């Protein structure tokens, strides 16, 4: 343990440094007075509605995670899954730490009685589901993107991001086909198990349909929140413009090189919306306001975490019913 924590803190320091550098690189191109003017133009009603939309997205994500856990014959109570998801959101967004929201979710459900393997794979599959739906939105937006920008290099970059994402998904799903001999390596065995779980998730209509559906609706809510803030700032972009650009921005922001995506998100948003002719100072104000909204949505999770009551995972009758249903379908 004494060797583990220094490495984690070193990673945190590196991420913090990357965050500061990226934000500095963005801000040095901005007229701070203009950015403040754009920031001040955002109404409290708009912020309130954006917070509601982002909170609804998180609720849907918690429900999605609950559905995924059924793959492991585990039924999280609805209130518990949403609660723990918000706790993880707090550690991801509102509290820069070395722990991470995914680690918190794994820890919480493990403490509630789930096997560590099921807890770990359930959280990772939830991440995979969110990533798949984000890639689908980016892919669908490609034809619309060509109607709005004529920069061939930018179009190639967007296409490259899409193909890279699709390739990552395909690669993950094919790992389950590796010979069993590869499983002697712990890391590879873990990825093979995750790949197998991903296949089971996608081939089950009862699981895949609501999981991807909740993910897509959640992403749309996020896009609408960005659009509302953009309107208050005075950016001349349509909802379709946001639908095209925001998923790509958030996809890039998932690259784990900064704290909660700060700096990466701002750089990506300036680049993406700049292709539509949006001024940098207004886009930075948009990205900062959106980022602060994400932090605010995560704050209730901190309260829930510190209260930390003792919960059961699910009714025994719910688990028995699920197993009986799977047995009838030949899944057990």
Listing DSSP states for 6-32 in one string gives HHHHHHHHHHHHHHHHHHHHHHTTS-H
| DSSP letter assigned to residue 41 | T
Q: How far apart are CA 70 and CA 201, in angstroms?
A: 10
Token look-up 């959101």 returns 89
Please give the residue that has the higher pLDDT: either 282 or 319: 282
Nearest to 132 by CA among 168, 93, 89: 168
pLDDT digits (tens, 9 = 90+) for 165-199: 889 899 988 988 888 777 778 787 888 888 888 89
Residues 268-292 as b/e (b if ≥16 CB within 10 A, e otherwise) read bbbbbbebbebbbbbbbbbbbbbbe
What is the pTM (predicted TM-score) of this model?
0.86
What confidence category does residue 94 fall into, taking pLDDT thresholds of 50, 70 and 90? low
Residue 72, pLDDT > 70, answer yes
**3-state DSSP assignment of residue 254:** coil
- In this structure, what token pair is assigned to residue 175? 């790992």
pLDDT of residue 109: 87
pLDDT of residue 325: 54
pLDDT above 90 covers a percentage of the chain that reads 43
Nearest to 105 by CA among 74, 62, 53, 63: 62
Average pLDDT over residues 198-206: 89
pLDDT of residue 311: 46
pLDDT digits (tens, 9 = 90+) for 22-67: 999 999 988 888 888 998 899 999 999 999 999 999 999 999 999 9
**3-state DSSP assignment of residue 50:** helix
Domain residue spans of the chain: 34-327
pLDDT digits (tens, 9 = 90+) for 221-279: 999 999 999 999 999 999 999 999 999 999 888 888 888 889 999 999 999 999 988 99
- Pick the most confident of 148-152, 162-166, 188-192, 313-317: 162-166
- In this structure, what token pair is assigned to residue 201? 């998730």
Residue 306, pLDDT > 80, answer yes
- In this structure, what token pair is assigned to residue 125? 């599959």
Nearest to 286 by CA among 222, 218, 234, 217: 234
Please give the residue that has the higher pLDDT: either 10 or 332: 10
For the chain, the average pLDDT equals 85
Runs of H (alpha helix) within the chain: 4-27, 32-40, 44-68, 78-89, 101-111, 116-140, 142-148, 152-174, 186-203, 205-233, 239-253, 264-274, 280-307, 316-328
Token look-up 């803190």 returns 9
pLDDT of residue 20: 92
């Amino acid at each position: 343990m004494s060797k583990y924590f220094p490495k984690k803190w070193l990673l945190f320091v590196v991420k913090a440094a990357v965050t500061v550098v990226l934000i500095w690189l963005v801000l040095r191109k901005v007229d701070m007075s203009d950015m403040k003017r754009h920031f001040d133009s955002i109404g409290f009603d708009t912020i309130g509605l954006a917070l509601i939309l982002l909170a609804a997205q998180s609720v849907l994500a918690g429900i999605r995670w609950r559905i995924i856990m059924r793959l492991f014959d585990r039924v999280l109570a609805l209130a518990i899954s949403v609660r723990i998801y918000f706790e993880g959101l707090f550690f991801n967004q509102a509290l820069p730490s070395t722990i991470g929201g995914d680690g918190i979710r794994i820890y919480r459900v493990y403490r509630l009685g789930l096997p560590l393997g099921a807890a770990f794979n359930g959280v990772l599959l939830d991440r995979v589901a969110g990533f798949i739906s984000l890639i689908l939105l980016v892919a669908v937006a490609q034809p619309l993107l060509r109607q709005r920008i004529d920069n061939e290099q930018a179009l190639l970059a967007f296409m490259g991001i899409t193909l890279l994402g699709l390739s990552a998904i395909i690669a993950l799903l094919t790992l389950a086909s590796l010979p069993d001999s590869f499983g002697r390596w712990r890391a590879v065995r873990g990825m093979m198990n995750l790949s197998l779980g991903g296949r089971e998730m996608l081939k089950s209509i009862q699981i895949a349909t609501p999981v991807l559906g909740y993910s897509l609706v959640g992403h749309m809510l996020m896009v609408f929140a960005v659009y509302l803030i953009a309107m208050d700032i005075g950016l001349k972009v349509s909802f379709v413009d946001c639908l095209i650009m925001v998923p790509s921005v958030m996809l890039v922001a998932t690259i784990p090189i900064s704290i909660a995506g700060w700096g990466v998100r701002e750089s990506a948003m300036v680049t993406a919306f700049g292709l539509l002719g949006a001024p940098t100072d207004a886009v930075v104000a948009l990205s900062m306001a959106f980022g602060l909204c994400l932090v605010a949505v995560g704050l209730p999770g901190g309260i829930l975490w510190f209260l930390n009551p003792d919960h059961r995972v699910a009714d025994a009758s719910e688990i028995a019913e699920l197993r009986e249903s799977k047995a009838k379908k030949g899944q057990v």
